[in-house]
Chains A and B, each alone.
Chain A
Amino acid sequence: MKFLHDILEKQKPMFEKGGKLEKFYYLFEAGESFAFTPPTTTPAKGAHIRDAIDLKRMMMTVVIAMIPALLFGIWNVGYQHFLATGNPDAALLDIIIVGSIQVLPIVIVAYTAGGIVEVIFAIIRKHPINEGFLVTGMLIPLTMPPDIPLWQVALATVFAVIIAKEAFGGTGMNILNVALTARAFLYFAYPTDISGSKVWAYLGGESTVDGYTGETALALATGAKTGTSVEAALQSATSGWAGAEGLFSFNNMLIGAIPGSIGETSAVMALLGAIILVVAGVASWKIMASGIVGALVMGFIFNAIGSTPFMEMAPHYHLIMGGFAFGIVFMATDPVSAAQTERGKWIYGFFIGLLTVLIRVFNPAYPEGIMLAILLMNVFAPLIDFYVIQANKNRRLKRSHV
């Protein structure tokens, strides 16, 4: 592959200072360093050998961990389409074709729109293009409903990269999770396209089958009437819908063959991603574990108080409904916007779980609590860190006798 590197090196002077395309140096550099780990060696003083990891590999690990969710999402978008239009026995190939046609453009648009912004900022600010967007560009599509207009995906991505990241100084400096900011932007700017009961299955202009309901499990749980149970409401919601009986059974929600955002429906796929991330040591298992504990604790507290069916719902249902699993695995663990101290991570994760359930149960306007819970805790993460760091400082101060 040396010849390829030589060819690239030959083009380099054009991009260097004084060259014709000097402005695009960092674009060239990004391309070259994408293709080749640069021949840079360690400085003459200090650690002469370095760990084999780099940011590209680390980010790619996260992308790989999301692939099960993406593939399942593609299938599920197709499956929900046929289910809603009364053709639950459609062939697997048809399902995947429909799903791909719907999902892949969203992925491509997110990557393209965000990539362009990244490049522009790299050129203006004269810094290398950061790999973080590899992950963000995949997270954004996975949090979108299947029928989201592409221009909204582009707009939200651009908004999030500029406002949530570049305005704060770029990669590593952002307070809020970039992908969630994109979703929150759409949520508040174009609520009809990302909430309600019309958007969770791609219909493609076809009419829905009798008994169809476009509600998500969370919306059904919120709407469960006093005196009944959430389980019963979930059970009866699809009873008249041919082929979709038991759509919201526990097992089906666990697997994720339910309406929802593209990548968030399957707790199993999120678990698979979590295993990859934890084994690879790329995401904090502490945040995931304490997040689950937080959600369960809040669930049990509600059980104990219990005045509405949603409060009385078995706590473990919270883990598989909506985007909780996806959010706690892929969003909450973003190392930049999460708490950065190890003790802080426990607290941060716990409150995400707790707030998610709190928001879900008490705020019917936002049935998807995880998005707001994570954004809220993103804001509080520096405060948590402050106290953890202060405790470390105090221990040091205390032992001095001066």
Chain B
Amino acid sequence: MHYFNVLIVDDEEDFLETIIKRLNKRQVDASGALSGEKALELLKEKTFDVVILDIKMPGGMDGIEALAEIKKIQPLAEVILLTGHASVETSIEGMRLGAFDYLLKPIKLDDLLKKIAQAIEKKDVHDQKIRSAQIKKLLKYW
């Protein structure tokens, strides 16, 4: 698998810190943001392949709002939602807004890695399409 990077957004600092450490230990380039606003700032500076986003965050921007903004800034980033209370409705709404999938807390690292891998795969296929479209476009003019 080629290089990719991951942004994790969750208001729970203990979780954020630990999951980044564990991902890094597995050679995954992971960064963290403690709120939706901070995540958007980071996204404006740098591209991410996968964003892992907690749906329910107290205060400030909630997950669904953040999702809509993320898709505006980086439409190609795949978003995986995290939810603490199995609210299927919210998850469905998230998927409609372009999220790749969702996971129920507490999450197992293996499950998360699998989802990330699937997201990357999907993104790669997508990127491939874009690239070949661009090549066709170039060939046309050439």
| B is a partner of A | no
| Chain B residues near A (Cβ < 8 Å) | none
| Chain A residues near B (Cβ < 8 Å) | none
